[in-house]
Structure 1
């Protein structure tokens, strides 16, 4: 196993359980104590975890921490590109589609530029800009009003009013985290309210979330796992997480990664 693969397994376990012990990693990964300690040093230098006596713990921030769009766009970029293509393939031509704000949904929008006859409703400035740059005479784009959040979402009373009374075929929803007990979550209370309005307006719910979102919990729940019809994630998802999700969501699609993520 390559060092990068081993470190990704360690990081997945830290995200899933909150902490790891060196002795347990030595046994499960069949490598030396020194190898594990070097891996933990490398992960700590990236800010991915924090070393403690005998192991390491998660560096997950407060449940209200909300990184900006640019910061999030550099994380798991390859996985997001694969997820975006797989999610866009689920959208039927001439349907009414909603896209929430987020870096993964922005990547989905790039692929939806090719789908004919869409009506797209979004509270994402980035999604609207992407679709505006690739105009089609057979496409309608509706951008909600509202206050802007760090993730470039439009939220608040104006956004809620514009969504009221809509009947959409499908919502493609980006999330901050997912967990069995808390469901799909976000660190922003106002964004959660707007996302819940989008969920209410949609007949089907497609959630796009890379494997690192598993076990992360934001302060506010958008929807329980069993409200999701299709979860599009990537092949890096932990097997235990996959089994848990299979029990709760309608269908799990694990988008395969290629060299360029396309």
Structure 2
């Protein structure tokens, strides 16, 4: 790699993506050498050593001879979370959604593979180190990862966790969230359509997400194309309550066109 290429790789966005990629590799392997990381990410070993030092300073990894090992139980996620970490579709949504969040914002998030990817991309942004970020989440796995970021104030809601999604539900979650005013709610959904709105499978999870919508100034739904036009069991919010949609659907997708008609800003990625 030439010095020019190396400089491009070290641009803030590339660097943040690289740090997240290193954490993803650790999630599946448990330990990582400088040489293996450099080969996997196609950068120099010197770059990887700097990245390892940065991750160690943030207490996200532990240095050992020749590499790093995973620090936290945050890496022990259900299979569907681990297997989706290199999903290109999720990565595109996560990067685009994370870039839309204003530095210093108070962000509320529910659980799921898409919001987990967004949380990783968001909390890895270099520009947040000076401004900070407050993350309010009903997902235990997101909270466990976010709390390790020095520039993130993490508020984990209480309640009864659901093993399939790591989301907490019930009166404790509702009571805690009812005392907060997020700037933006970032929501994963099982379905989104112009007619039925944002929906999910479980009413107890929907109740928490619904309150996030009510308490937030803006509502961002993050959903792959396969979720558009679909309807799940219970309503989170109406379509016209969605301020922003980040999706992999094409610009001319019927639901994209209809959502824009309600005033929703749609980012097709």
* Matches of 2:83 and 2:251, distance apart in 1: 19
* Matches of 1:224 and 1:153, distance apart in 2: 22
Q: Say yes or no: does 1:107 pair with 2:107.
A: no
The residue number in structure 1 matching 2:192 is: 178
- 1:98-247 maps to which residues of 2 (within 5 A)? 98-113=108-123, 114=125, 115-116=128-129, 117-133=132-148, 135-136=149-150, 138-149=151-162, 150-236=164-250, 239-247=253-261
**Higher relative contact order, structure no. (Cα contacts within 8 Å, ≥ 6 residues apart):** 1
Deviates more, 1:122-131 or 1:188-197: 122-131
CA shift for structure 1 position 245: 2.0
* Matches of 2:238 and 2:82, distance apart in 1: 25
Question: Alignment length, in residue pairs?
Answer: 186
Do the aligned partners of 1:175 and 1:209 also contact (CA within 8 Å) in 2? yes
Do the aligned partners of 1:231 and 1:249 also contact (CA within 8 Å) in 2? no
CA RMSD of aligned residues (A): 2.0
Structure 2 gaps of 5+ residues are 1-76
Do the aligned partners of 1:211 and 1:238 also contact (CA within 8 Å) in 2? no
TM-aligned CA distance change 1:165 to 1:219, over 3 Å = same
CA shift for structure 1 position 74: 4.6
| TM-score computed with the length of structure 1 as normaliser | 0.66
The residue number in structure 1 matching 2:8 is: none
* Matches of 2:263 and 2:160, distance apart in 1: 31
Counting helix residues as a fraction of each chain, which structure ranks higher? Answer: 2
* Matches of 1:197 and 1:69, distance apart in 2: 26
* Matches of 1:71 and 1:140, distance apart in 2: 27
The residue number in structure 2 matching 1:83 is: 93
* Matches of 1:239 and 1:179, distance apart in 2: 12
TM-aligned CA distance change 1:108 to 1:179, over 3 Å = same
Structure 1 gaps of 5+ residues are 1-67, 256-262
The residue number in structure 1 matching 2:79 is: 70
CA shift for structure 1 position 70: 3.5
CA shift for structure 1 position 249: 4.4
- 1:35-46 maps to which residues of 2 (within 5 A)? none
The residue number in structure 1 matching 2:20 is: none
Deviations 1:71-113 (CA, angstroms, capped at 9, x unpaired): 4765692211100100000111111111111111110111122
* Matches of 1:187 and 1:73, distance apart in 2: 22
